[in-house]
Structure 1
Amino acid sequence: MVNFVEANTRQVQIFAKSETQFFYKFLHFIATSVRERRLNGDRGRAYIKEMLHVILFYGQINLPIIKPEEILTENFQTFLQKYPDVFQECKTHLPTRPPYTVLLDAIVEIKGTRNAEDVLRCLLDLTDKMDVTNDEGKQCGNVLVSTVISCCNFNDVTTNYFGASVSCMGWKQRKAMINILCCKTWHKDISWAVCVGNTYNEKAFTFPAGVCSMAFNIYSSAKATEQKQRIERAKARLQRFQMIRSRNIANILEPFGTLVPREPCKYCFIMFPDICFDPSSHSHNAGKWEYGNCAECESLSQLLYSDENIVQRLKRETFTKTPEVLLNEKYNQLKEYLEKLNFNFGNRILYYNNQA
């Protein structure tokens, strides 16, 4: 690891350190939860395997490749012997979720609640511990930590569904992960909404009344200190909007870092114009990434998976290209990006199964 870091650019150094720090802090969180009987052993093993796989996969699609032994700086041989399928299949099988989404899901299960305050407090506390230090001794955040967190609900503020923006390094890698989420992970209607946004720049369907969504920029303590002036400007700008719930959550969580209420970007508002966003305004930030990058897609997907009644009440639009055609285009795009990243997926795309 030392030689690897010394031989590569600062950006690659930070990415490699981010992977190492993220995995070991996650491992400690899961192991502690199992030991305290807040999570059973089989579920803990499944989470560890999934996280290890996606982090090693990220190393495989990085340019240059970051090898497993350059990420696992402690007990490499132990992990290799315990989870041999992970080390083999990180080179041939795709993950189904980014690392921060896996962490968020584990927190919800371990905490046993969908209360936004409880979940986000734990998430921000763990995020604070994942900061990495560059070769100059300066804390600089963690590449695998998402920049935005979202939670949504349907007529019940105590039952929230959470999502994170896509976290990885490099635009090709990011596009590949968005395509994975569309093709494999998200509810088919959210995948379709992303495809319709990409192709037609329009909404795919209308939600029934009662769907609400909150989003936050998330900062660890180190990043919050670095971004202090920017954060204060953002808070001052949002004071004129109705955001009582989101402001209260942000204030409660500030001792652990900072959550700054965030308006939906232009792309989210195009896809989901009928949702009650908090905060919201008549002017929306231009989409910096492509459709599907934002945290709202993940949280709304979980909401649809949870309630078939909402799915049945969606008012779908009609387009020249069917959902099947649009998703097939996404699948072909995924193969193209994997080829550009020199990932050998063989004759067909396979996904890693952490239950094996």
Structure 2
Amino acid sequence: MRRTDTEILLRSRVLDHSARKKMADFVQHEVPQVQNFVKSGNQFLRTARSFIVKSVREGKLTRDRGRAYFKEMLHTILFCGSINSPIIKPEEILEYGEFHLLSAKYPDVFQKYNTHLPTRPPYTVLLKAVVEIMGTNVNEVLECLMDLNDQMAVDFTDDNSSKCGNAFVSTVISSCYFYNVIVREKTNNYFGASLSCKGRQQKEIMIDILCCQTWHRDISLAVCVGNWFNKQAFRFPPKVQSMAFKINPPGVGSTPGSRYDRPSRVQMSSSLERSRPPLKQRISLIHRELYGIWYDMLTDVNYDPIPVSHKHLYYEFGNCAECESLSQLLCANQPIAERLEYTNFLTEPTNRSGLINLKHERLEENLKLLGFNGGRHLEFYDPSV
């Protein structure tokens, strides 16, 4: 049967619309930031899944815990795609086979990534899994993270073709503990990672989620007071020790998988040098000095090494790894939290609740601006279900 001119015209319009859509998708995926997001998310999830499966198989992690860790990382990365500009859909992040496999295996993740908020960045989830699997020895945790970072590295799409890394990987890790001078005992080591999130509004969203939902309330207050009043919120009891380490991304002076031309000994403070064996050279570990802005807010913490103040440096509180590690310390040790000495500004309970409310308002506003469909009341994703 011969087609009429109308049928031909209608079909041509459909084909034209389809072609334009494909071209738009093509153009979007030609944007380096989108390509880096997709590459990073895909490789992050593949590496994390292999690590968790191996740990479960070896009996280092229960199946339920491993499942919850991976679901949380998957949900958070898909959420980050939903608030990205432009939006990056799950089927664009995951390869075809993985998308169908994972969406069938974890349907709630794909149903809730754009309606329920995560509670922490994906690398923080991975760090928590590493600590549960490896224990709290600083050296062993860092060794494991370096291995995983190396496996997660992708070639970034930009003008510098030699640059590689992963957009979801934190490069700064913090470790802290409390030493009780009376009974001469120290707590476990508690770890945190710097914020691994791109984009100003996206960073604000994640920081506000951490402040409103995840961190110990006193750490959240310290972030609020530091951001809006440039003052100290409270003082820790004596002998809280904090160390931070910067892990260089793969590709710094080398290509992925090769050995770097670096000294065999990693830079460390003298107090730690005797207790640690030499670390791998594939990724150099640098014992870094803290940014002065966080140090100025919590001057009573014993930092190693002593930070250098940066008077003109500004970034929003909540980015640094110390927030997470100190929050972990307070959450696990209520007696330490009870010994915090609030500044005059925080002695009024209404001031404390008001600060968190301001964070919550900014969170809702940013989510609205980025088109996140959270409904009237924000809900958070529970990976254990």
Q: TM-score higher than 0.5 here?
A: yes
- Quick one: distance in 1 between partners of 2:113 and 2:339? 39
Deviation at 1:223, TM superposition (A): 3.2
- CA distance in structure 1 between the partners assigned to 2:54 and 2:27 by the alignment: 30
| Per-residue deviation, 1:283 | 3.3
Contact 2:292 2:308 (8 Å CA) reproduced: no
Counterpart-to-counterpart distance in 2, 1:20 and 1:340 = 26
3-state SS of 1:190 partner? helix
**Is the aligned partner of 1:182 residue 2:211?**
yes
Any unmatched runs of 5+ in structure 2? 1-21, 180-184, 256-260
Residue 281 of structure 1 deviates from its aligned partner by 4.0
CA displacement, residues 169-220 of structure 1 (integer Å, 9 cap, x when unaligned): 1111011100000000000010011111112101110001110100111113
306, 320, 327: which one aligns with 1:301: 327
Could you list the per-position Cα deviations for residues 126-167 of structure 1 after superposition, in whole angstroms to 9, with x for gaps in the alignment?
A: 011111024586451111111211000111678210001110
Deviation at 1:285, TM superposition (A): 7.0
Q: 1:279 to 1:285 in 2, by over 3 A?
A: farther
Residue deviations 1:9-50 (CA, integer Å, cap 9, x gap): 112211110011101100000011111111111111111110
AA aligned to 2:175 is C
Offset of 1:262 from its aligned partner? Answer: 1.4
1:274 maps to what in 2? 300
Counterpart of 2:14 in structure 1 is none
1:52 aligns with 2:74: yes
What is the number of residues matched between the two proteins?
Answer: 345
* Residue type of the alignment partner of 1:173: Q
Aligned partners of 2:186 and 2:283: how far apart in 1? 23
How far the C-alpha of 1:264 sits from its partner, in A, is 1.6
1:201 corresponds in structure 2 to 230
Tell me how far apart the structure 1 counterparts of residues 227 and 175 of structure 2 sit (CA, whole Å). 23
246-255 or 97-106, which deviates more: 246-255
> 2:38 is paired with a residue of what secondary structure?
helix
Residues in 2 aligned to 1:201 and 1:54: alpha-carbon distance in whole angstroms: 31
2:10: which partner in 1?
none
Correspondent of 2:53 among 24, 27, 31: 31
Note closer, same or farther for the CA distance 1:87–1:59 as it changes in structure 2 (3 Å cut).
Answer: same
Contact 2:296 2:309 in 1 (8 A): no
1:127 and 2:139 matched: no
Deviation at 1:331, TM superposition (A): 0.3
CA shift for structure 1 position 86: 0.3
| Cα shift at 1:342 | 1.5
Aligned partners of 1:249 and 1:26: how far apart in 2?
29
Once the two structures are superposed, what CA deviation does each residue of 1:84-119 show, in whole Å capped at 9, x if it has no partner? 1100100101000101100100001111x2110011
SS in structure 1 of the partner of residue 318 of structure 2: coil
Q: Which amino acid aligns with 1:104?
A: L
Contact 1:262 1:279 in 2 (8 A): yes
Describe the superposition over 1:265-316 as per-residue Cα deviations: whole angstroms up to 9, x where unpaired. 1221122111110111453475442011110000000000111111111111
Give the SS at the match of 1:253. coil
| Cα distance in 2 for residues equivalent to 1:250 and 1:167 | 27
Give 1:143's aligned residue. 167
Contact 1:263–1:284 (CA under 8 A) maintained in structure 2:
no
Structure 1 segments unaligned to the other structure (5+ residues)? none
Does 1:263 find its partner at 2:289? Answer: yes
1:40 and 2:62 correspond: yes
Pair 224,215 (structure 1): closer, same or farther in 2 beyond 3 Å: farther
> Conserved in 2, the CA contact under 8 Å of 1:93 and 1:349?
yes
Q: Give 1:100's match in structure 2, choosing from 123, 145, 148.
A: 123
Which letter maps to 2:167?
Answer: V
Instruction: Provide closer, same or farther for how the CA distance between residues 349 and 315 of structure 1 changes in structure 2, counting only shifts above 3 A.
Output: same
Which of these residues, 110, 126, 132, is aligned with residue 87 of structure 1?
110
Contact 2:143 2:280 in 1 (8 A): no
CA–CA distance in structure 2, aligned partners of residues 247 and 217 of structure 1: 16
Match of 1:153 in 2: 177
CA contact (8 A) 2:164 2:250 kept: no
SS in 2 for 1:221: coil
Take 1:331 and 1:323, find their aligned partners in 2: how far apart are those partners?
A: 13
Q: Quick one: distance in 2 between partners of 1:96 and 1:184? A: 7
TM-score, reference length from structure 1: 0.90
Please name the residue that 2:43 is paired with: 21
SS, match of residue 132 in structure 2: helix
Q: d(CA) in 1 for partners of 2:274 and 2:249?
A: 18
Matches within 5 A, 1:225-240: 225=254
| Cα distance change, pair 310–207 in 1 and its aligned pair in 2 (3 A) | same
Q: Residues 282 and 110 of structure 1: is their aligned pair in 2 closer, same or farther, counting only changes over 3 Å?
A: closer
CA contact (8 A) 2:156 2:165 kept: no
Structure 1 residue matching 2:279: 3-state secondary structure: helix
- Amino acid of the residue matched to residue 164 of structure 1? A
Distance 2:157 2:120 in 1: 30
SS at match of 2:203: helix
Identity, % of aligned pairs? 49
Considering only aligned residues, what root-mean-square deviation do their CA atoms show, in Å? 2.7
TM-score, L = length of structure 2: 0.83
